Amino acid sequence: MLEIKNLHVKLEEEDKQILKGVDLTVEAGKVHAIMGPNGSGKSTLSYVLAGRDGYDVTDGSATLLGEDLLDQDPEERAAAGLFLAMQYPVEIPGVGNMTFLRTALNSQKKARGEAEMSSADFLKFVREKAKTLKMGPEMLKRAVNVGFSGGEKKRNEILQMAVLEPKLCILDETDSGLDVDAMKLVSEGVNALRDEGRGFLVITHYQRLLDHIKPDVVHIMANGRIIKTGGPELALEVENNGYADLLEEA
């Protein structure tokens, strides 16, 4: 599904190397978690995969379903099935949430040569999805994320994911700032999308989320590299002992 080889990334504006040789393969049907200290490059990895400006790839490659990702525009990557739930979702004043979702879905369908969804069909479709995330119709009418609470913004990211039905879902600290109930809703939203044809990359600081979203593989990232890969027990080890021993080992 996703294959990253020896990925080196620096900032465009400064001579600062952030990713220093990331190797990572996410298979279809699997959930991979990435944990790691602040500043280790987890968000940078997700941004570079999604196509955000401001980074130079100096070495290595990343492919989605065998196609080179890094030379595509962000919207091409999205149409190809890549989705990023952002750590800090942005507010978009003046753009209704429903319009945003329908436009995103239909432009992806168009890019893939599929039939677009009518307004009436979309309305039914999105209301159903929103209901499972306990988001009322009024949140669909408001401008994207404007005035949403932290938890509502994160749920709105999961709603986008549910609507777009991506192939590879990257969640960047979707659990941070969530109360227990919201965390459960978000986890259920993720678990509902788990499927043999879909892969997940879940970036998190906490075991808590991984109690709900059981990962197949756990990676520890530090200083721009994956320093250790293991099973779910690795997340428990971090929860109990922190990163010091793993950093020492690396």
- Judged by the rule CB under 5 A, the positions of this chain that interact with Mg ion are 42-43
* Interface pick for ligand ADP out of 38, 73, 90, 240 (rule CB under 6 A): 38
CB-based contacts of 28, cutoff 8 Å, min separation 6: 1, 167, 196, 197, 198, 199
Q: Which does 11 bind (CB under 5 to 8 A by kind): Mg ion, ligand ADP, none?
A: ligand ADP
- The count of residues interacting with ligand ADP (CB under 6 A) is 11
Closest C-alpha to 33, from 184, 175, 224:
175
Task: Please tell me whether residue 18 binds ligand ADP under the rule CB under 6 A.
Answer: yes
Side-chain half-sphere CA neighbours of 189 within 13 A: 32
Q: Sign of torsion, CA 241 221 188 65?
A: negative
Q: Which does 39 bind (CB under 5 to 8 A by kind): Mg ion, ligand ADP, none?
A: ligand ADP
- The DSSP code for 69 is -
Q: Which is nearer to ligand ADP, 54 or 137 (CB)?
A: 54
Task: Please tell me whether residue 154 binds ligand ADP under the rule CB under 6 A.
Answer: no
Dihedral of CA atoms 174, 179, 183, 184 in degrees, nearest 10, equals: -170
Closest approach of Cβ 182 to Mg ion, in Å?
19
Helix 119-132 to helix 97-111 angle (10° resolution) is 110
Task: Please tell me whether residue 44 binds ligand ADP under the rule CB under 6 A.
Answer: yes
Q: Which stretch binds ligand ADP (CB under 6 A): 39-47, 127-135, 152-160, 180-188?
A: 39-47
Closest approach of Cβ 103 to ligand ADP, in Å?
28
Q: Rounded to an integer, what distance in angstroms lies between the CA atom of residue 99 and that of residue 105?
A: 10
Q: Which residues of the chain form contacts with ligand ADP (CB under 6 A)?
A: 11, 18, 36, 38-44, 54
